[in-house]
Homo-oligomer: A and B are copies of this chain.
Amino acid sequence: MELNGVTIDDTYAEAFPTWVARPVITAVTEEWAYKAAVEAVGFATSTIGCPAEAGIDCFVSPDETPDGRPGYAILICASKKKLKEQVVERLAECILTAPTTAVFDGLADVVAEVQEKLPVKLHFFGDGYEEKREVGGRTVWAIPIMEGEYIGEEEFGAIKGVAGGNFFIMGENQMAALVAAQAAVDAIGGVPGVITPFPGGIVASGSKIGSKKYKFMGASTNE
């Protein structure tokens, strides 16, 4: 295939099954929602060495969030076994701790059917001072915290997803390929339900399975 003078070789792409949750984080301003979201999706490029793969799916406008505040939808991806723990820890440590945040399950908003429901019981942090409440039609827990109140749903949908779908960029030189990759990440940025979890969305060091020389390595530099 050729597109805008670029030859595209549509062969195959390495990909793995994964499980995906989609929390929506809101805050008093878009900026605070963003700061919390960035922290929550950090250290999450590849499950080879990170506890999850995660990224920001998209901005969610005040019109579309349960509490009428600006928000960001994030995707957290992990094996079925590890996903619950990752959603719990990333919300507990990176969102509950951030000023003015609230968290809602954003998966049902975008898929027809949720395959699993993950219990995410942060309300115990309230030590009995917490209470159930309704916000925008969602049942949430309001947890009193030093800074005010944390609002959170405690059941998050999960579905099977695909981790992978990469493509290689061949360029005249390193910098041409780098800017091409940035342009690709920009284009992917507009596709709902897709994240590019590596730094700046780009993987510089694609790998092959195993290693010819170092038998203890599960993956090594691509050839």
Contact = CB atoms under 8 A, between A and B. Distances in A.
Interface of A: 4, 28-32, 35-36, 38-46, 48-51, 61-63, 68-70, 88-90, 92-101, 124-129, 143-148, 150, 168, 171-183, 186-187, 189-190, 198-200, 202-207, 211-214, 216-217, 219-223
A40 B43 contact: yes
B205 A96 contact: yes
Given A36-B199, A146-B205, A199-B35, A126 B186 contact: no
Task: Quickly give the copy total for this chain.
Answer: 4
Contacts of A101: 204
A221 B42 contact: no
Contacts of A177: 147
A67 to B, nearest CB: 10
Contacts of A70: 183, 186-187
